Chain A
Amino acid sequence: MMATDAKRKAAEALLHVLPLPGREAGWAREARAAARTRLLDAGAPARRDEYWKYTDPARLTAPIAVVEATDARPDVESQFGEVHPRRARFVNGHFRPDLSGDLAQEGLVVNTLSQVLQQDIIFARDLFGKLEAAGQEKIARPLAALNTACATEGLVLHVTGKVAEPLHLRHDQIGEGASLMHHLIRVESGGSLLLLESGTVTNKVLEIDVADGGSFQHVLIQEGPRACAANHIFARLGAEALFKTFTLTADGEMTRNEVVMEFTGDNSVGHIAGAVLANGASHIDNTVFVTHGAEHCESRQVFKHVLTDKAHGIFQGKIFVRKGTQKTDGYQISQAVLLADGAEFSAKPELEIYADDVKCSHGSTTGKLDETAMFYLRSRGVPYAEAEAMLVAAFAEEAFTEIDNEALAEAMRAHVARWMAGRGEGVQ
């Protein structure tokens, strides 16, 4: 599909503002060139694109320069409650080994993206830009192609065994400016990793390849009122693999989270979940595309939205079942509770099925909190705000049960409680 002139010009402008990567291996240069072609062919996203119907990409495509890393506090509080991971820190999109802990563990090899792109590492060569490109088979994702073309910062994680301690990638954005990040993760057969992420990155891509029997679990927190973020997760699952990702997005001016997951081996499980807490004029879009390309795989999409003021929550979720992928089990639920009349939720569930022996279901609901339940709680002396918080916690719970690690789930619940308590007082 060729883009219109205007869209192509806008894509060129996006490339123009970002610096060209320096000396890299031949395969990396080829991957960059292919990504540039993908971007130019697709053109920059525009509001009239069907895939951007509910989210105006203007704020995400505004050319913003990457700002150099400034000093950041060396000690930072945990955002994951009782979970104490190894921490890798990024400031304004730059990896800061001086602020990071010791990342090497048994079963985990950590490199930076820039190191890897100068070498010939087979798994990286087969991954960088490859899952991103595969994820554009059905729908163009130009912001992800832009990332592959230009991003030089990120980590490359090679998971060769069961990694004992979780790894936390923490990003701090200080002052204005954009940040660009691209992480590559390869989980070998029998390997497992719990990856935590926090902070808002202007444009971020994760490419995750989970080999047969591998396991990858992921929890991301993004918050902050001024944030603009375009996130892409591209995941490929082999046979008998496990993939679970959960994203908590709180406030933020404009966020688009895309998760593109494909089953390529039989008997795998992939769960994509999220919670959205949005106030003010916040705009938060979760867009998911799951492809069943193998038999006996189970996919779940569970998204809960708590929206107030004039916030707008969006969920676009698709389950695409390829021909012959029998015994597919696909589930999708997106729900929103509106705490104010001005809040809005848009949902676009899609199923496209080319196999006959499958089980796929989807559902979506939007509404206020149950007035009868509110009255019942208040009639027992629970104040209005607390009653709301209790019902909101109950509403969001299904998304948190998607997190296997109970301490992490508890940290997410605490996050919601804090957000509810601070709501309306400008507290984040």
Chain B
Amino acid sequence: MLNISNLHVKLEEEDKVILKGLDLNIGAGQVHAIMGPNGSGKSTLSYVLAGRAGYEVTEGSATLDGNNLLAMDPEDRAAAGLFLAFQYPVEIPGVGNMTFLRTAMNAQRKTRGEPEISAPAFLKLVREKAKSLRIDPDMLKRPVNVGFSGGEKKRNEILQMAMLEPRMCILDETDSGLDVDAMKLVAEGVNALRSEGRSFLVITHYQRLLDHIKPDVVHIMADGRIVETGGPELAFRVEAEGYAHLQQSVA
């Protein structure tokens, strides 16, 4: 589904190279985890895939179902089925959460040539999904993420994911800032979405989250590359031994 080959990325403004030949292939229905120390390029990878400005791809490719992601606008990547759950969800004062969600849903549908969702159908769906994520209906009425707690913001990301039904979900440190209960709730939300046609890339520092979202494949990233790939047991090794020895083995 997602195929990344020899991806090199630098910051546009600083000439600093972040990704240095990254390869990653995620098949349909698979859950991959990327772990790695701070500064290894995990968040950059997620932003580059979602199409954030400020990065320059100098070499390599990234495709979703064979379509060149890197040539598409962020909104077209979303319509093609890519979703990034942000590490720091953005507060947008003045834009209602519901309006935002419905606009996004209908825009994606329009791009794909599908009919718009009706207001009653949308309401029913969003209430149902919000309930399962234990999101207070009041939160839906408030401006996007404004005044939300850290946990509420992350749950709101998962709610958007559940509504938009993307095929390729990237979770960028969705566990950061969450207590154990909130993490379980988020993980349940993610697990409910797991299906044969939907893949996940879970970016995290800690093995904790992977207790709840069981990955098929675990990658270790360091210095802009995948340096080790294995099964779920790799995450436990990181938890026990840290990244230090990995970075030494790279160097």
Contacts and interface: CB of A to CB of B under 8 A. Distances in A.
A376 interface: yes
- Sorting the interface of chain B by its residue count into under 10, 10 to 19, 20 to 34 or 35 or more gives 20 to 34
Contact of B164 (A377, A381, A384, A395): A381
A231 to B, nearest CB: 28
Contacts of B101: 380
A419 to B, nearest CB: 17
B176 to A, nearest CB: 17
Contacts of A56: none
Given A382-B103, A382-B104, A391 B92 contact: yes
Chain B CB within 10 A, most for which of A371, A377, A393 = A377
A379 B111 contact: no
Nearest to B163: A380
Interface stretch (B22-30, B48-56, B190-198): B48-56
B65 interface: no
A383 interface: yes
B100 A379 contact: no
A386 interface: yes
A375 to B, nearest CB: 5
A387 B51 CA distance: 15
A117 B74 CA distance: 64
- Sorting the interface of chain A by its residue count into under 10, 10 to 19, 20 to 34 or 35 or more gives 20 to 34
A378 B111 CA distance: 13
A367 to B, nearest CB: 14
Interface stretch (B78-86, B180-188, B221-229): B78-86
B96 to A, nearest CB: 9
The A contact surface, by secondary structure, is helix
Given A376-B92, A390-B103, A381 B52 contact: no
Given A384-B75, A390-B103, A379 B51 contact: yes
Contacts of B95: 377, 390-391, 393-394
B48 to A, nearest CB: 12
B174 interface: no
Chain B CB within 10 A, most for which of A377, A380, A383 = A380
Interface string B87-109: 00110111100011101110110
A306 B232 CA distance: 52
Interface in A36-59: none
Given A375-B51, A381-B105, 6 more contacts: A371-B53, A379-B78, A382-B104, A382-B107, A390-B92, A391-B95
Interface of A: 370-373, 375-384, 386-387, 390-391, 393-395, 397
